[in-house]
Structure formats: C-alpha cells, structure tokens
C-alpha cells in the first residue's frame, strides 16, 4: 500500500500531483451527466472501542473478530465491482477492512480520510464527556485540543475535488464521523448537518447523481452483515 501525506496546496509531500496515476476526465463532463461515477463509502468493521461507544479518532484500535468477519462480508458484497480508484485512511482499522474486502492491492492511503481528531475526548463516551460538559455533542460543541467541524469539512472538500476527476467509480474506506461529514459535503450542506446521517460499522453507502445533482443513492446499508 502506498502512503503519501496530504498537502492542501494541491500536491503530496513527494511533490507529485494528487491525481497522478488516475484516469481523469474534464469536470464539465461530470456536472453535465456525460459521465457520473459513484462514490462508494465503507466504514471500517467493529472495534472494541466502537462496540463500547468510545470516541475513536487517531488511536489505532484493531478490528475485533466480528469486525474482520464483517469486512469480509463487505468484500463479498463488492465482489466483481471495478473501481477507478480505491482510497483508505492510514489507520489500521480502515486499511485492514479494505484489505479483507479484497481491495488492498489497489488502495492508496489518503490523509484526508483520517477520523475526526477528538483531542482531549479521545477514548471517552458521550456520557463520560457530559459529566464535565453537560449537553455536549460533537456537532454543536468544541473539542478541547481537537478538530472543528469546519476543519473536517475542509478535508472532505479536498478529497471530493480529487474524486470528481476520477474516470469511474471510487471506493473510500474510512471512519464513522469522517464519512458522515463526507456525505454532507457531497450534498453541499454544512458539516454539522452530518448529525442526521447515522452510520454503523462495516456498512455500505453510495454517493451518486440525479440529473447533475449530487445525491445519496444508498446510506448505512448493512444487509450483507445481517445475512452472515
């Protein structure tokens, strides 16, 4: 798997342009319906922290046995589908889900897909946070030492710009809150509105198009897990 750090100026740390190696077409063709690829979003499988509802940002928590099985089920769901690009968060729970789903050899690590930085709230549940910050929610309150919704949204916007240049479908393996914000920004709404887009582990979502408008074609689909 290749690793390249993200630079908002438009290039990776190695100096290569972000779209290098991808088949690209004009953005105008995307917007006017001549070629409308789908963006497939896969949240990583279950971890001990996700099972216990602990905020898991940059901590590199591994998949549980169930998480690995669910990642394999996700792979069977995606079997036979071709992608022009496959992107993954560098964190192991997402990269391992991508590998178990059968797409690891094609994956490119993207720093934009790292989960929300929860700062001082890393590893805590919402109930624990509210003991000192009554009424706290990720979407409406600040995180001491962590990211803002606007900062996460900016990361998603940068990735969306790249994905719009890919000729064909794109798969992204990442994290719950990050992917929720990505869905919101795809639709052009504020990152905070992602509060309305619940997302479970190892689920599949699809961002698509209708008559030139960006849409949610599928969201939080875990039917492949329920069949296990």
What one-character-per-residue DSSP string does 28-88 give? HHHHTTSS---EEEEE---BHHHHTT---SSS-PPB-HHHHHHHHHHHHHHTT---SEEEE
Active site residue 228: no
CATH number at 34-226 = 3.40.50.1240
Q: pTM here?
A: 0.85
Query: Cβ(125)–Cβ(52) under 8 Å?
Result: yes
Q: Which of 44, 55, 175, 224 is catalytic?
A: 44
| C-alpha to C-alpha distance for 146 and 54, rounded to whole angstroms | 15
The domain locations on the chain are 34-226
pLDDT band of residue 226 (cuts 50, 70, 90) is: confident
- Look at residue 35 in the predicted model and tell me its pLDDT: 56
The set of residues, in sequence order, having a beta carbon less than 8 Å from that of 112 and lying 6+ positions away, is: 6, 155, 156, 158, 159
Active site residue 115: yes
Backbone φ and ψ of 29, nearest 5°:
-65, -35
Q: Which helix (H) or strand (E) covers residue 12, if one does?
A: strand 11-12
Query: Cβ(39)–Cβ(27) under 8 Å?
Result: no
Q: Which of 46, 72, 96, 115 is catalytic?
A: 115
Mean pLDDT of the chain: 88
Instruction: Flag whether pLDDT at 152 surpasses 90.
Output: yes
- Look at residue 228 in the predicted model and tell me its pLDDT: 65
- Please give the average per-residue pLDDT across 12-17, as a whole number: 40
């Amino acid at each position: 798997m290749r690793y390249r750090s993200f630079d908002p100026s438009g290039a990776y740390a190695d100096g290569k342009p972000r779209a290098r190696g991808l088949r690209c077409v004009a953005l105008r063709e995307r917007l006017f319906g001549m070629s409308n690829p789908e963006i497939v979003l896969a949240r990583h499988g279950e971890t001990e922290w996700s099972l216990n509802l602990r905020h898991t940002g940059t901590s590199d928590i591994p998949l549980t046995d169930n998480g690995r099985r669910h990642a394999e089920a996700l792979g069977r769901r995606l079997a036979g589908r071709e992608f022009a690009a496959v992107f993954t968060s560098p964190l192991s729970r997402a990269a391992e889900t991508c590998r178990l789903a059968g797409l690891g050899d094609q994956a490119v690590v993207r720093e934009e897909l790292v989960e929300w930085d929860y700062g001082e709230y890393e590893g805590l549940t919402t109930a624990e946070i509210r003991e000192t910050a009554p009424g706290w929610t990720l979407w409406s309150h600040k995180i001491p030492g962590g990211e803002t919704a606007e900062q996460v949204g900016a990361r998603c916007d940068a990735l969306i710009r790249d994905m719009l240049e890919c000729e064909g479908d794109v798969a992204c393996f990442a994290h719950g809150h990050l992917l929720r914000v990505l869905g919101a920004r795809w639709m052009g709404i504020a990152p905070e509105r992602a509060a309305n887009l619940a997302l479970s582990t190892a689920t599949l979502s699809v961002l698509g198009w209708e008559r030139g408008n960006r849409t949610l074609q599928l969201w939080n689909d875990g039917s492949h897990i329920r069949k296990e």
